[in-house]
Structure 1
Amino acid sequence: MTGRLYLVPVPLDFGTLRADASPPPLTEVLPQQVLETAARLPAWIAENAKTARAFLKRVHAVVPLQQPLQTLAIRELPRPPKGGTRTIPPEVLDALLAPAVQGQDVGLVSEAGMPAVADPGAEVVRRAHELGIAVVPLVGPSSLLLALAASGMNGQSFAFVGYLPVEDGARAARIRELEALARRTGQTQLMIETPYRNPALMQALLAHLRPDTRLSVACGLTLAGGWNRSQSVQRWKLERPGLPADIPAVFAIHGG
């Protein structure tokens, strides 16, 4: 019998906390079932083994791991090629999933939030299905869905469009394209940016969106001091709130 691939959510605070800040207790953001499942898994697939170990240390403080951390098999996803689209060769995916094929349960984790959502782990999940490995998603935070729910925008029809172009002209064109789509279809458009570019993206959105277009920003979700706000571009321009350049944010636009 094959093992199962568990999609294990992690907190949204990794890489976002200042040196003097304490992370929120795991029990505030993850159900007990997730912690108990994570504590018993012998094998893991992660973007970064160091981050995965840090997560498991926090799990151990709540639910003791069933075997020592240093004995767990943590395999890393390969780094994406520069300037290219990530495609992990089947033989690499097979090596990552080998413990499951051999009968062990395996955990898949992202750097933050839900694995395989806006995350390269999706390729692992697809290969697991092809190999006949059962996939078990566990309950946990997803910044995209939390931001959408808090936006008051259309939750019946929405699209996550990822990162916008960095070059000014291409970014402006993409913003106008997404705005036109949102107005024509009523579909909410969700996007993210590398945190240090948050202020630049916000400035571009305010410069190129129509005044009556609705813009939502959710920043530092589930963290102490996290916030979200959803209002017209015109009102955003009047208030001009500062946007941190070191905390992840989710941006959303809607036709109004």
Structure 2
Amino acid sequence: MNAPGKVYLIPTVLSADALYSIPAYVTPIVKQLRVFYVENERTARRYLKALDRSIVIDDLRLLLMHENHPPDLALAKKLLLEGTDIGVISEAGCPAIADPGHLIVQVAHSIDAPVIPMIGPNSILLALMASGMNGQNFQFVGYLPIKSPERGKMIRELEEISGKKNQTQLFIETPYRNNPMMRDILDNCKDDTQVCIAADITAPTEYIKTKTVKEWKTAIPEIHKKPAIFLLYAAEII
């Protein structure tokens, strides 16, 4: 019986202008692969061509995995058992974090197929690094509720947890709802709670600022349609 194929977790850029953030060792691996699970086919095609123009996209098998199109796990298992290596590419950043790539990883582990995470940009860690908040105790909670009453309640709960546990809280929002998210944060948090906005990370327009709620209220930034991460910290920053 053949050894199972490998799953390569391939990082991609957070910004179209940030190919420099991808380590050089990624490209040779990508050039060896013919099957990829991708969150967005158009974005993946563009990224692969940016890595190396000699890659013939039409020779590749791009299989979708996103919220409205779960990955074909039976196919992934079949390919791996046949000895086929698989690449996993997120819409942005590192796969299997806040995207469905983890499901392919689960399949790999179920049949003892090797899983190889590759170094690359991750917006969660980059935002946390630059925030000045607690990097030893933090929680990423993904998306908050969309509607303001429920979202406001969640924000207050996260603020309370942050204060009690000395824990940084990280969350995201669909870019076109960033401004309402920021308003809900300011409406529901205490004046001395720290809030960091990390937007357009690695892009020329990168914006990362940490201020108290009281300070943010005097100058709310325009972050509409900008990829952003919000960080909240209710403990004191020295």
TM-score (norm 1): 0.87
Amino acid paired to 2:63? R
Q: 1:208 aligns with which of 174, 188, 201?
A: 188
Identical-residue share of aligned pairs (%): 38
For residues 32-71 of structure 1, the C-alpha deviation after alignment (integer angstroms, 9 at most, x for no partner) is 101221122111111222222111111123xx43xx2211
The verdict on how the C-alpha distance between 1:191 and 1:25 changes in structure 2, with shifts beyond 3 A counting, is: closer
Residue 233 of structure 1: aligned partner: 213
Q: Which amino acid aligns with 1:3?
A: G
SS at match of 2:44: helix
Which runs of 5 or more structure 2 residues have no equivalent in the other structure?
none
Q: Secondary structure at the match of 1:253?
A: strand
Judged with a 3 Å threshold, the aligned counterparts in structure 2 of structure 1 residues 197 and 79 are, in CA distance, closer, same or farther, namely closer
**Contact residue 75 and residue 96 of structure 1 kept, 8 A:** no
The equivalent position to 1:247 in structure 2, one of 222, 226, 229, is 226
Per-residue CA shift, 1:159-211, capped at 9, x if unaligned?
A: 11111111111111111000000000011100000000000000110111000
Give the match's secondary structure for 1:32.
Answer: coil
* SS of the residue 1:189 aligns to: strand
The residue that corresponds to 1:18 in the other structure is: none
How many positions carry a matched residue from both structures?
A: 233
Letter in 2 for 1:74: L
1:171-190 equivalences under 5 Å are: 171-190=151-170
Q: Give the drift of 1:217.
A: 0.5
3-state SS, counterpart of residue 133 of structure 2: coil
- CA RMSD across the alignment: 1.6
Partner of 2:42: 50
Q: Quick one: which of 61, 71, 75 aligns to 1:95?
A: 75
Alignment correspondent of 2:64: 76
CA offset at residue 79 of structure 1?
4.4
The 3-state SS of whatever aligns with 2:136 is: coil
Give the distance between the partners of 2:200 and 2:165, measured in 1 at CA.
29
**Corresponding residue number in structure 1 for 2:89:** 109
Distance 2:65 2:221 in 1: 38
TM-score, structure 2 normalization = 0.93
SS in 1 for 2:25: helix
Residue 9 of structure 2: which of 1, 7, 10 is its match?
A: 7
Matches within 5 A, 1:149-168: 149-168=129-148
Q: 1:216 touches 1:231 (CA, 8 Å); kept in 2?
A: yes
1:105 Cα shift? 1.5
2: CA distance, partners of 1:144 / 1:97:
30
- Could you tell me how far 1:240 is from its partner in structure 2? 2.3
Distance 2:132 2:168 in 1: 10
Q: Deviations over 1:93-133 (max 9, x none)?
A: 12134322211211001011110001111111112101211
2:38·2:89 contact (CA, 8 Å) conserved in 1?
Answer: yes
Who is 1:37 aligned against?
Answer: 29
